[in-house]
Amino acid sequence: MIRSYCHGLVEQGASLLKLNSTLGCPRSLYALALILRDSRRNESRSYLSLAAAEGYLPAWQELLPAPEMKAKYGDLDAHVLRSYLDPPCLNKLLGRHYLYCKSVRGVQTSHCWNPLCGRWAYKATAREPPPTMAAAPPVNPLTLLDSSSPSHSAEASFPFSETAQHVEALMCQNTTTALPSSDTLSCMQSPTTQFCTTTTTSQSPSPKLRVSRMKMCSQCRRAKYCSKLCQVYDWRSGKHKMECQYLRHA
């Protein structure tokens, strides 16, 4: 997550999430599916199916229509949904980067309206249209993480570049190219916190792969969310349920 959102290295971040998902972490599968939702839809849906098979509720939210989700799980309250959100420390880090990184704030971006979520995304612009999807056969979810045969090993089934398949390679790349040098960091002080922003071009969005865009509330068309989990939580907690009616007439 930090690699994808704070360093602009989405492909490497997805590689690490994929590796962690092979260790039996449905949260990593879910995070990977959200990142790839726009650029690689077949893979994204396959990862959601794998997470749902592990009983991960947010994955079912993305796969099932609202009536089926309600029939299967009932009306989920905010307390239950909150337990599936990312850790507060991660959300604070992503949110702080979004606020103070010059290269991010200098382009059109959207931030998830859920106050407990730190995810953000680049907006689609006329100069840079959203990525188009080439026709591809459906991906069998059961073969993505099957490491029992050489032809379906974690490395063989993973479609990203060969330089991003091993943690050791990622760490080596991080120390040589990904992290900005000391002369490109400018540290800023505030009464309550200290943070650093970078002007290096490594923060620019990847030309090959980007984190997925936000989805808009169909009622007010103002609020934007990174996932159905955040959208439903923001409504069930009462925050957007109260403000949506005013935003519709704004």
Query: For the residues of 7-43, what is the DSSP string, one character each?
Result: SS-HHHHHHHHHHHHTTS-HHHHHHHHHHTTTT-HHH
Residue 210 banded pLDDT, cuts 50, 70, 90: confident
Rounded Cα gap, residues 20 and 143, in angstroms: 16
* Signed CA dihedral, 65, 68, 73, 77: sign only: positive
- What is the rounded average pLDDT of the residues 2-16? 89
Contact 205, 7 (CB under 8 A): no
Q: How far does Cα 245 stand from its chain's mean position?
A: 28
Amino acid at 141: P
Rounded Cα gap, residues 77 and 87, in angstroms: 19
Q: How far does Cα 134 stand from its chain's mean position?
A: 22
Q: What is the pLDDT of residues 100-116, one digit of tens each?
A: 888 787 788 889 999 99
State the chain's mean pLDDT as an integer: 74
Q: What is the pLDDT of residues 215-226, one digit of tens each?
A: 999 999 999 999
153-168 burial by CB neighbour count: b if 16+ within 10 A, else e? ebeebbebeeebbeee
3-state helix vs strand vs coil in the chain, percent to 5? 50, 10, 40
Contact 123, 213 (CB under 8 A): yes
Q: Give the single-character DSSP code of 55.
A: T
Report the pLDDT value the prediction gives residue 99, as an integer from 0 to 100: 86
Q: How far does Cα 100 stand from its chain's mean position?
A: 19
Contact 165, 155 (CB under 8 A): yes
Among the listed residues 27, 126, 123, 133, the one whose alpha carbon sits nearest the alpha carbon of residue 84: 27
pTM over 0.85: no
- What is the rounded average pLDDT of the residues 141-169? 42
Report the pLDDT value the prediction gives residue 98, as an integer from 0 to 100: 86
